[in-house]
Amino acid sequence: MDFTVKKAIFPVGGLGTRFLPATKAMPKEMLPVVDKPLIQYAVEEARAAGIEQFIFVTGRGKTAIEDHFDSSAELRSTLLARGKQDLWHSIEAIALDAGRISYTRQPEPLGLGHAVWCARSMIGDEPFAVLLADDLILGEEPCLKQMIEAYRELGGVMTAVMDVPREHVDRYGILDVGHDDGRLIDVKGLVEKPTAARAPSQIAVIGRYILHPRVFEHLDRQQRGAGGEIQVTDAIAKQIGRMPVNGYRFAGRRFDCGDKVGFLEANLAFALSRADMADDVRRVLKRFNC
């Protein structure tokens, strides 16, 4: 099999309950970090990694995401009439090329594994990426690009990983670690949301994956895992021993934007990384004595 990764799935079918009431009528993935919705960061990361086909798994109330990546004739004429060419060019760049974007629907949010499974007919016999928009990564080289470069040599399955405090292991899929060279980790086992006492390590899977189409053989069974949800980590765990399964410790700082404090922190970090805002934001922070 060719290890080139050309397709990416963006699961956006979740309910975003931790952000209610903000997510009552608006998708969590449209929450802005500074001035860009989370999902746009994920799409830009995939584009920068060479992805050519963008597959969204949506659900009820998610049409704002489709509109966001569509072209907008009305906005075009208004901005051009007001002489705002530069702003229009930045907006125009958001739209994905015709034929490169597809949408499918997850009828019920039965878990991430189920969302990925809903896109199975759009994948075929090739490896594909999965990006979770609420894991936002700030770094020099996009996380998925780093992973795809490493994946070219390895194939199999690869997940982005990071070290987490022991008291947080119950929020993540946790690796049972074989060889670890600091960047690449040979995965011997994978446990979804273990208790601190049962966690085999403190190395956690975060929301960037490169998956082999054989994961669908497991997902086809629709087995429920931790939290009663169909888990993608269970499908990955089933591949151990059948193909290389690697964790990739990426360079960059990850923010959990599915969590309120993580989301606030991401806003601060991204604002402070911008030349047009950093000084003003620092001034504001001083007013809070921090």
Which positions touch ligand UTP (CB under 6 A)?
11-18, 28-29, 57, 106, 109-112, 114-115, 132-134, 258
CA distances from 149 to 160, 210, 237, 250 (A): 13, 11, 23, 12
CA distances from 241 to 157, 169, 213 (A): 11, 24, 16
Of the pair 16, 247, the CB lying nearest ligand UTP is at 16
Q: How far is the CB of 109 from ligand UTP (least distance, A)?
A: 3
CA distances from 43 to 33, 192, 231 (A): 14, 26, 23
Residues making up the chain, counted from first to last: 290
Spatial distance between the Cα atoms of 134 and 39, rounded to a whole number of angstroms: 8
3-class secondary-structure state, position 173: strand
Query: What residues pair up with 82 in beta bridges, in sequence order?
Result: none
Query: What residues pair up with 191 in beta bridges, in sequence order?
Result: 174
Q: How far is the CB of 234 from ligand UTP (least distance, A)?
A: 14
Q: To the nearest 10°, report the CA torsion of 260, 248, 176, 130.
A: 60
Q: How far is the CB of 159 from ligand UTP (least distance, A)?
A: 14
Of the pair 170, 180, the CB lying nearest ligand UTP is at 170
Spatial distance between the Cα atoms of 209 and 8, rounded to a whole number of angstroms: 9
Of the pair 209, 248, the CB lying nearest ligand UTP is at 209
Q: How far is the CB of 247 from ligand UTP (least distance, A)?
A: 19
Angle of the 278-287 helix axis to the 260-272 helix axis, nearest 10: 130
- Residue indicated by tokens 């929450």: 31
Of the pair 72, 104, the CB lying nearest ligand UTP is at 104
Q: How far is the CB of 262 from ligand UTP (least distance, A)?
A: 11
Close Cβ partners of 82 (under 8 Å, ≥ 6 residues apart): none
Of the pair 79, 160, the CB lying nearest ligand UTP is at 160
